[in-house]
Amino acid sequence: MRILFKTSYDYDIRMFKHWYQARWYILLLVLAVAAPWLLGTFMVGEVTNVLIWALAGMGLMILVGQTGQASLGHAAFLAVGCYSNVILQERLGLPFILTFPLSGLIAGLAGVALAIPTTRLHGIYLAIATLAVSIMVEDLIVLAEPLTGGVSGLFAPDIEIFGLTINRYVDPELFYWLTLAIVVIVLYLYRNLLRSPLGRAFAAVRDSEISAQAMGVNVARTKAKAFGLSTAITGLAGALMGHFAGIFTHETFNILISIQMLLMIVVGGLGFIHGAFFGAVIIAFLPQALAIARDWVGTALGTGSVIVPGLENAVFGVILVLFILFEPMGIYGRWLKVRTYFELFPFYRRDMFRRQKSYLKTERMR
């Protein structure tokens, strides 16, 4: 157990609570940078995948976890980011260093454009509206064939940054570092958001719109900002996803991806940046883990590897059901409890994290 004596307000404003905590994150960063030397090429690709999903997850987390606005349509903004990044490169010949931030900007503006008409919607109604948008965007991509290649999709070109060519298969390490750098930058901005007035305004809108309004928070504008930031980050993830996949179509960003993204951050831990990363790890590694388990079971039973379609989603579904029922705070919530247990040993009490049971808040009254 550590006791921290705060002697200035800055202790609460700083990014890390204390030097001890900062040390762990610096160690993690060093390990992340060194990963290509520590892991094989295949694993580097997998970790890159995790980072891209985490980036997308952070985008969605700002909206769902921080601002409390459920979106079942974020795949649409992955698509906007991905397509605009590639189209700007191919059609206008702009370099990646410009198209990448532009793709985020375009996705962000698209998000704001969605936020304006939907500002009065809450909870499930907003989720349904975004779901509808996601489905429509999927169809629109097919319809806008001259631009998007229709059902046959588009190829992502190699990334060129100041003469340095990055292809995800030829130089997986370079692509990994590029992704890592973007993730770290977004992480930094996200942390800043959480300790500044806008982050608090987001939380205010999440927990009580009516009193946020009474405190002088412009709810509609705050929601629009949350949408914009969220979809911009998701758009950046989409742009990276395009380069990572090499080829993509409307199917790459279908409605199931939207749903999967939301499920991902719920399993990870809603409202925590860590949650986006934990969720991304689950999403990215679950198929691998299942493949290994399948091989293992196959060998044990002597039946060889059996392919069970839909197993991934089902296992993911079961994990999710168990988390929502028994650990609504997600993996990160569980981690917090375990950590507190060891930090306070032997003084941990079971009800330390218990929240007051809230009564059913009827959504018919808004």
- Count of residues interacting with another protein (CB under 8 A): 84
User: Using the rule CB under 8 A, is 1 a contact of another protein?
Assistant: no
Smallest distance, another protein to C-beta of residue 149, A: 15
Q: 49 and 284 in contact (C-beta within 8 Å)?
A: yes
Query: Strands 164-166 and 159-161, how do they pair?
Result: antiparallel
User: Using the rule CB under 8 A, is 257 a contact of another protein?
Assistant: no
Residue 320 in tokens? 């999710």
User: Using the rule CB under 8 A, is 305 a contact of another protein?
Assistant: no
Closest of 71, 84, 93, 96 to residue 141, by C-alpha = 84
The rounded distance, in Å, linking the Cα atoms of 242 and 103 is 12
Helix or strand holding residue 65 (H, E): none
From 30, 317, 338, 339, residue interacting with another protein (rule: CB under 8 A): 317
Smallest distance, another protein to C-beta of residue 358, A: 5
Reported as half-sphere exposure (CB side, CA atoms, 13 A), residue 34 has a value of 7
CB of 126 or CB of 237, closer to another protein: 126
User: Using the rule CB under 8 A, is 5 a contact of another protein?
Assistant: no
User: Using the rule CB under 8 A, is 334 a contact of another protein?
Assistant: no
From 1, 7, 9, 346, residue interacting with another protein (rule: CB under 8 A): 9
User: Using the rule CB under 8 A, is 325 a contact of another protein?
Assistant: yes
User: Using the rule CB under 8 A, is 125 a contact of another protein?
Assistant: yes
The rounded distance, in Å, linking the Cα atoms of 257 and 78 is 10
The rounded distance, in Å, linking the Cα atoms of 62 and 300 is 45
Is residue 241 packed enough to be buried (19+ CB in 10 Å), middle (13-18) or exposed (0-12)?
buried
| 10 C-beta neighbours (distance < 10 Å), count | 8
Smallest distance, another protein to C-beta of residue 257, A: 13
Subset of 78-117 contacting another protein (CB under 8 A) = 117
User: Using the rule CB under 8 A, is 26 a contact of another protein?
Assistant: no
The rounded distance, in Å, linking the Cα atoms of 245 and 186 is 21
User: Using the rule CB under 8 A, is 213 a contact of another protein?
Assistant: yes
Per-position x/- string for 131-170, each x denoting binding to another protein as judged by CB under 8 A, each - no binding: xxx-xx--xx-xx---------------------------
Residue 330 in tokens? 């997600």
From 55, 70, 107, 282, residue interacting with another protein (rule: CB under 8 A): 70
The rounded distance, in Å, linking the Cα atoms of 141 and 238 is 14
Q: 80 and 88 in contact (C-beta within 8 Å)?
A: no
User: Using the rule CB under 8 A, is 355 a contact of another protein?
Assistant: yes
Helix (H, G, I), strand (E, B) or coil at 209: helix
User: Using the rule CB under 8 A, is 366 a contact of another protein?
Assistant: yes
CB of 174 or CB of 200, closer to another protein: 200
Smallest distance, another protein to C-beta of residue 72, A: 8
Smallest distance, another protein to C-beta of residue 273, A: 14
Smallest distance, another protein to C-beta of residue 193, A: 6
From 18, 23, 195, 339, residue interacting with another protein (rule: CB under 8 A): 195
